[in-house]
Structures are given as structure tokens and as C-alpha cells.
């Protein structure tokens, strides 16, 4: 008799066992249920909404080998280590492995060692990989960063156009789940048609991130630099990302921060690969406080405890901006996002658009349409920067979200609070969400806005323990427990394993691995 298909209850049990959460985030359950029912899915979820869980849980339940197509070769090792920490068997196949290592991974995959395998889209063209995939049992192909298939998106990757043909060539067509953080309706249509989704369930989550406070300030370049340095100094010990438009700007800002005593690293495409990887490693494992980067950095970064993101210049689109800003506060804790722009940035953006590089086979008429579209997207971005109405509402309106139940004032942006750059610099410590944003964060995910000195002291001790364990295990600290989970431990002060399991983010796997160490630290006199 055929084995019964996994159910929604099975999915919830797997979530609690591997990730320590008692319920799914908005949209996750709908996507997972559709996949388990054999339906193709397009999931558009904002950064921090937990897209990866939408294929990780089915991968555990469906058996066989789930293939995850991702453009992020440099992050695949971290992603696999994070799966291992959650008790899920992961692997990756990319050019960082020697031919012998690749052969071993392929053979182990055929022998059933893995639940998940990450591959770059270019790998799909390889005849040996196609033979391997045909021999493996592949129930699910997950396409991460699916907007890369569209020339209308900001991260076009031509190899994504090979996905549909690859899937159709498999002996048994798997379920296909396409996931992305930001996609306009035009990009969504491209994803469905170009990846070849069949009658997909389309799950578009609300784009509101109530734990983020949004600020837009017009500052001269000199004043902008002073603001960034002063803010980083006043938020010492917290992770932050600063985006600059040019490589020269990245190097200058990183140098200025280091000169001021801030532990900062730089990341841009002009650096050699080893230097970029080392900068990324130092930031991810909390050896560097601030990452200063061009938009070459960040897609797929899962670091959950980034407390602020600053854009020193104008991004080319609202999608690009919100994806970058959304890398703050992925753990649900309060975080702050600053757009720091000048009139000169507008001229720079027009120059970048006018000098867009196209593939040789793109005809002139199509190039003109694409440039016109990018100018339109830039116009929307400038409108956001100069907005005299609620920034949260402006974001939601841009992505087509119904505003009928969204208040006119969010009490969590520079427009609604009328906050000046100086007033945020006068304040130090943990970013705090205010007004509507604070009220909507569940109690289990609130910051320590009213914490005692004892609470703060214990939180810092738990962070130090997390860092020590992470270094010992060669994994990023956030992979062990998020800041939100550490704050849950501070609030609950668990005395034993059963009580520790009640803290959101502590599952059975991590309880066995880390429970004793954290309980000892929590209950130390």
C-alpha cells in the first residue's frame, strides 16, 4: 500500500522539532501545504519572512533529494551548516569543490545521504549533473531568488532561463516552488512563464515589516558620513550594514569607520574573491560590527541579528531598496533603516542607467524599453526618498497592498514621527520600534525596551556564550540561536530542558546540542 502523503500536522511537528517554533509565519503554511499536495508555487515574501523554511520542511517530509537552485555560491556552505544545526541533511555542489569532492557528494546523494542539495543555475547545463538528477529521486525543485529569471528584475541571471527545460527533462516532473523577496506584477508573470510553473498557487505576503523603523534624510555627503560614523559608534556591539553606490564610496566609508574605532569591513566586486569571502565571514561570525558594501553584497544573507541598515545614496528602485533595508531585523526584533541621500545621488543614478550593460543579443528597441523602465523605477525611488507621507504606507502602496486597514500614521518612520537626524543620534542602545510597530510585534519577539540592568547583563552573557560555541563549531552565531531566542531565554529564565523548550526558537535538536550550556549560564549566580 502506498505511503500516506505528509500532512499539515506533520509539517508543524517538523517545524517544532527542527527549528523550535510552535507555529508558522504568515504565508509559510500555505506554501508548504501546496507543495505537499503536489502543486507548483510562486511565493513572494519580504526579506525575513522565512522563505527557506518553505522548502526545507517539505524536503524533510517528502524524502528523496530536494534541489535548491540558488545564485549564491559563496553562501552555500553557510546554508548547509545551518541545515545541519537544525538536524536536516544538506549538501551543495559548486565550483568551490574539487572534482573528487563533487564525485563524492554526487555518490552520497544517490545513496540517500541528503535531504537537500544547493546548486547554482549554471550547473543545470552540465550533462553529468543532468544524468545525476535523472537518476536521483527529486520530489521538489526550489528556485530561490526567482526574480533573477526576469530582465525586469534587478538581479537578472541568464542561466535561470534554463530551469524550465531542466525540470521538464527529468524522468518524473517534480513540484516546482519559486521564491523571491520582492517582485512587481510584471516580474511575477515572468517567473511563472519563464520557469514554467504549472497552474501555480501564488502566495503574496503583505510587505509590512512592523519591527522596522524607516527614515529618509537628505544630507550632504560630508554630513552623511558624519551621521554614519556617529551612529555606528553609539550602537557599538550591534551588527549593521551600510550600502554605498560606488566601490570608491565603499572603501572610503569603511576606512572612515575603522579610523573612528568601528570594526568595519568592505565588500564590492572590485575586490578579489578571497578578500570578499573573508569580509563576509568576519561580518557573519560577528568578528566585524559593520559591513560596508555595494549592492553586490547581501542577497541570501541569513544573518538574523542585523540591527540597522543604512543606504548612503539612492538605490535604483524601491525593490532594491526594500530588499536591502529588509536585511535588518530578520529575527523580528526592532531594527532601523536609514535612506541617506543627496541631490548628487540622483545624477549618479541617471548616469548608471544610461550606461547599463546589455547582453549582445538584446535588440536596440528592447534596450530602450528596459532603460525607460529603469528610469520609471528610479522615479518611484526618488518619490519615496522625498515623500511627505508615511514611508510604510508608501512601500505598501508600491507593492500593491490594500491600504484600507492601514493607519495614515505608522509612528515608526521619519515622516510620521517628524524625527530629525540629530534626534536619533542623541539616542543610543538597542533600536526600539515605536507606536504601531511596537504594538504589532508579538510578545515573544519584543525587544528589551523596558529591560532591567540584570536583563541586559544576562543577554550579553548569552551572546558571548553563543559566540564561543559558534567559533568552536565553525558556524555563524545566529545559526545557533537568534537574538530573539536569547531574549526569550532572558524573559523566561528557564530552569530545565522542558522549560527551555518553551522558548521560541529552541527545538529538540538544538536542546540536545546546546541546552546544558545555556541553562548553566542562565542559572549561574
Judged against a pLDDT cut of 50, whether residue 13 lies above it is answered with: yes
What lies within 8 Å, CB to CB, of 92 at 6+ separation is 76, 77, 79, 80, 105, 117, 118, 119
Regarding predicted confidence, which is higher, 433 or 14? 14
| Sign of torsion over alpha carbons 43, 504, 237, 477 | negative
pLDDT at 154: 61
pLDDT band, very low/low/confident/very high, at 376 (cuts 50, 70, 90): very high
What is the per-residue pLDDT across 394-438, written as a single tens digit (0 to 9) for each?
A: 999 888 888 888 888 998 999 999 988 888 877 655 565 444 444
Q: What is the mean pLDDT of residues 166-188?
A: 90
pLDDT band, very low/low/confident/very high, at 442 (cuts 50, 70, 90): very low
Task: Classify domain 453-522 by CATH number.
Answer: 1.10.150.80
What lies within 8 Å, CB to CB, of 411 at 6+ separation is 417, 434, 435, 436, 437
pLDDT at 404: 86
Task: Classify domain 8-204 by CATH number.
Answer: 3.40.50.300
Task: Kindly provide the residue ranges of all beta strands, DSSP E only, lying in 7-107, ordered along the sequence.
Answer: 41-44, 66-69, 90-93
The string of DSSP letters for 271-305 reads S-HHHHHHHHHHHHTTSSSEEEE-TTS-TT---TT
Rg (CA), the chain: 23
Q: How far apart are CA 354 and CA 380, in angstroms?
A: 17
Regarding predicted confidence, which is higher, 336 or 95? 336
Judged against a pLDDT cut of 90, whether residue 303 lies above it is answered with: no
Q: Where in the chain is the domain with CATH 1.10.150.80?
A: 453-522
Region of poorest pLDDT, from 16-30, 312-326, 346-360, 375-389: 346-360
The overall average pLDDT reported for the chain is 89
Q: How far apart are CA 83 and CA 117, in angstroms?
A: 11
Q: Where in the chain is the domain with CATH 3.40.50.300?
A: 8-204, 212-435
Judged against a pLDDT cut of 60, whether residue 444 lies above it is answered with: no
Task: Classify domain 212-435 by CATH number.
Answer: 3.40.50.300
What is the per-residue pLDDT across 223-239, written as a single tens digit (0 to 9) for each?
A: 999 999 999 999 998 99
- What's this model's pTM, rounded to 2 decimal places? 0.82
Judged against a pLDDT cut of 80, whether residue 182 lies above it is answered with: no
pLDDT at 102: 93
What is the per-residue pLDDT across 130-145, written as a single tens digit (0 to 9) for each?
A: 999 999 999 999 999 8
Amino acid at each position: 500500500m502506498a505511503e500516506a502523503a505528509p500532512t499539515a500536522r506533520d509539517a508543524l511537528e517538523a517545524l517544532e522539532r527542527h527549528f523550535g517554533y510552535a507555529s508558522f509565519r504568515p504565508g509559510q503554511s500555505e506554501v508548504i501545504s501546496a507543495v505537499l499536495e503536489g502543486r507548483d508555487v510562486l511565493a513572494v515574501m519580504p526579506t525575513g519572512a522565512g522563505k527557506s523554511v518553505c522548502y526545507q520542511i517539505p524536503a524533510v517530509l517528502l524524502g528523496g533529494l530536494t534541489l535548491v537552485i540558488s545564485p549564491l555560491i559563496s553562501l552555500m556552505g553557510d546554508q548547509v551548516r545551518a541545515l545541519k544545526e537544525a538536524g536536516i541533511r544538506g549538501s551543495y555542489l559548486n565550483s568551490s569543490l574539487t572534482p573528487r569532492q563533487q564525485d563524492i557528494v554526487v555518490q552520497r546523494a544517490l545513496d540517500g545521504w541528503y535531504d537537500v542539495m544547493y546548486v547554482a543555475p549554471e550547473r543545470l547545463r552540465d550533462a553529468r549533473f543532468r544524468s545525476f538528477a535523472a537518476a536521483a529521486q527529486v520530489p521538489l525543485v526550489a528556485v530561490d531568488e526567482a526574480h533573477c529569471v526576469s530582465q525586469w528584475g534587478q538581479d537578472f541571471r541568464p542561466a535561470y532561463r534554463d530551469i524550465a527545460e531542466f525540470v521538464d527533462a527529468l524522468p518524473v516532473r517534480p513540484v516546482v516552488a519559486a521564491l523571491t523577496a520582492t517582485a512587481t506584477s510584471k516580474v511575477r508573470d515572468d517567473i511563472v512563464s519563464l520557469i514554467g510553473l504549472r497552474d501555480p498557487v501564488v502566495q503574496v505576503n503583505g510587505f509590512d515589516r512592523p519591527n522596522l523603523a524607516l527614515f529618509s534624510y537628505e544630507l550632504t555627503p560630508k554630513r552623511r558620513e558624519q551621521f554614519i560614523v556617529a551612529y555606528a559608534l553609539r550602537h557599538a556591539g550591534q551588527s549593521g550594514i551600510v550600502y554605498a553606490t560606488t566601490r570608491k564610496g565603499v572603501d572610503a566609508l569603511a576606512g572612515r569607520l575603522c579610523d573612528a574605532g568601528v570594526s568595519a569591513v568592505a565588500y564590492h566586486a572590485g575586490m578579489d574573491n578571497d578578500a570578499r569571502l573573508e569580509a563576509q565571514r568576519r561580518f557573519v561570525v560577528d568578528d566585524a560590527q559593520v559591513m560596508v558594501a555595494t549592492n553586490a553584497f547581501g542577497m541570501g544573507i541569513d544573518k538574523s541579528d542585523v540591527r540597522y541598515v543604512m543606504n548612503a545614496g539612492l538605490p535604483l528602485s524601491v525593490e532594491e531598496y526594500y530588499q536591502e533595508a529588509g536585511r535588518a531585523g530578520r529575527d523580528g526584533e526592532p531594527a532601523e533603516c536609514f535612506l541617506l541621500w543627496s541631490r548628487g545621488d540622483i545624477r549618479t543614478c541617471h548616469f548608471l542607467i544610461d550606461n547599463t550593460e546589455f547582453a549582445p543579443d538584446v535588440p536596440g528597441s528592447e534596450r530602450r524599453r528596459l532603460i525607460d523602465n529603469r528610469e520609471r523605477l528610479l522615479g518611484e525611488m526618488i518619490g519615496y526618498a522625498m515623500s511627505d507621507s508615511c514611508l510604510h504606507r508608501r512601500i505598501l502602496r508600491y507593492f500593491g497592498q490594500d491600504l484600507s486597514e492601514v493607519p495614515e500614521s505608522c509612528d515608526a518612520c521619519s515622516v510620521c514621527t517628524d524625527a530629525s537626524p540629530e534626534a536619533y543620534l542623541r539616542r543610543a542602545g538597542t533600536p526600539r520600534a515605536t507606536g504601531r510597530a511596537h504594538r504589532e510585534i508579538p510578545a515573544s519577539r519584543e525587544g528589551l525596551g523596558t529591560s532591567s540592568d540584570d536583563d541586559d547583563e544576562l543577554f550579553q552573557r548569552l551572546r558571548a556564550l553563543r559566540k564561543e560555541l559558534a567559533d568552536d563549531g565553525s558556524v555563524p552565531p545566529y545559526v545557533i540561536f537568534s537574538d530573539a531566542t536569547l531574549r526569550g531565554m532572558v524573559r523566561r529564565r528557564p530552569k530545565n530542558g522542558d522549560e527551555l523548550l518553551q522558548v521560541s526558537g529552541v527545538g529538540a535538536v538544538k536542546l540536545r546540542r546546546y541546552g546544558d550550556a545555556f541553562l548553566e549560564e542562565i542559572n549561574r549566580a
